[in-house]
Chains A and B, each alone.
Chain A
Amino acid sequence: MLQLPTLAAEPIFYLGSFPVTNTYINSTAAVLVFAIFAYFLRKSLKKSGSGAPRGLANFFESLVEFVLGYIDGVTKDRKKSLKFLPIVGGMFFFILFSNWIGLLPGTGSLVIKHGLENIPVFRPANTDLNLTLAMAVFAVLASHVFGVLAIGFFKYANKFIKLGDIWHAIKSGEPIAMLVAFIDFFVGLIEVFSEAAKMVSLSLRLFGNIFAGEVLLTVIGSLIAGYGAFLIPLPFMLLELIVGVVQATVFAMLTLTYLSIAVTEPHGHAEADHEDIEVSEVEAI
């Protein structure tokens, strides 16, 4: 019988009361691989010294330079890009790596018996909403922290709770300005909700895409018996490879956009509208 992946990640064992799920094993494996990679990278960097980088360092340097170029395209400022790189780059490489190792043989096929059910020991990490939500919350919170650090707490808070604008309007004494400030106040409140929407949309988009890919591959793989079961999923695997890159890029780019919007000083409505258009363009993907 075809067993579709469940929406919730399945616990493999418990550490105390903490459920170690198959997706958690995958994300931990990704962290370990990154740590091992970091160790070898540092070794490689030490070997090359101040001269031309070789091997692993050279390869990864080209990747980082590519990502940095992308970030530069959004921030238009190398200093800002270097500030955002640890978060945006880390997210990109982590999501990409997690998505791709989910396509390796063993993920989903290596199972343990649990009653009648077969529970896979490894599942793509991003098919767990807990992880995607954790990353989304991290991204949005990081954008707020960066925003407060860049433009100051009160200026930043005025983006959401526009008491400052109302105060200025009352001081000016113009009725139209007061009306605009009053409307702006409610727009600011809507912004508060949009922050929550950012977390939901970021997390559900990634989760939905990767989970759908997993379900798709399972269904396609089991629709046809015989040798076809090996051949038919191949084009879909290729598609999933592309989906892995696209989703990692979208998540990282959106985070980058949130970060760069958060650190820009509020100037006027025209610019804010422009930024909204940019975000909606990326979100459309």
Chain B
Amino acid sequence: MIFDPHSLSALVIPVAQAAEEAQAGGPAATLGLNAKLFIGQLVNFSILLLVFWKWILPGITKGLQKRTERIEKSLSDADRIEKEKAEFEQWRQQELGKARQEASGIIATAQADAGKIKDATLHQTKEEQQKLIEQARKQIENDKQQAIQSAKTELADLITGAAEKVLRKKLDAKADQELIKDSLKSI
């Protein structure tokens, strides 16, 4: 690396030139201030701001705004849903409790009704049974009476028949009397 001694002197020359120019055209000219250039640069800068303001920013800020709103909405929605969930859970528990109560009520009434029906049916059955037994007993009594009646009739016929047969063989008064007595005794 070589140090260039010319460069230092070269540094001084433009500074001296600038000082001379400053004296000649005033500080504004030295600094390069120029009305036309100023307006030109102002127009350039204004165009740039216009491009930035009208073309670049709207899409970006709109997007940012939309996203912020969306996130805020999602957050508030999440809170709302959480709250609704809690409310629903409470409501569900209440309804479940009510349903349980109702169900146990229904079961109790059903059991009571069933008990009543059972008792009534039992009672009715018993009555009918009693009636049937009564009827059967009467029937049996009737049948018995009838059987006895018919047995008596048949017996009398038999006796009459037997007596007729005996009488036809040897009929005398004594034998007849005894026969009648015996027959009457055996009845």
Contact = CB atoms under 8 A, between A and B. Distances in A.
Interface of A: 1-4, 6-9, 17-19, 21, 24, 27-28, 30-31, 34-35, 37-39, 41-42, 45, 50, 53, 57, 60-61, 64-65, 68, 82, 85-87, 89-91, 93-94, 128-131, 133-135, 137-138, 207, 219, 222-228, 232
Interface residues of B, number: 42
Q: Which of A18, A39, A64, A86 has the most CB of B within 10 A?
A: A86
A53 B44 contact: no
A7 B1 contact: no
A6 B31 CA distance: 9
Interface string B121-164: 00000000000000000000000000000000000000000000
A41 B56 contact: yes
Given A7-B30, A224-B3, A24 B52 contact: no
- Chain A interface mostly: helix
Contacts of A131: 41, 44-45
Contacts of B185: none
A45 B38 CA distance: 35
Nearest to B18: A7
20 contacts: A2-B6, A4-B11, A7-B18, A8-B29, A8-B32, A45-B59, A64-B64, A85-B61, A90-B49, A94-B45, A128-B32, A129-B31, A129-B32, A130-B38, A207-B31, A219-B7, A222-B7, A224-B2, A224-B3, A227-B1
Interface string B70-113: 00000000000000000000000000000000000000000000
A259 to B, nearest CB: 13
Interface of B: 1-4, 6-7, 10-11, 14-15, 18, 29-34, 36-42, 44-49, 51-53, 55-57, 59-61, 63-64, 66
Nearest to A5: B14
B64 A3 contact: no
Contacts of B39: 134
Given A27-B41, A61-B64, A134-B42, A223 B7 contact: yes
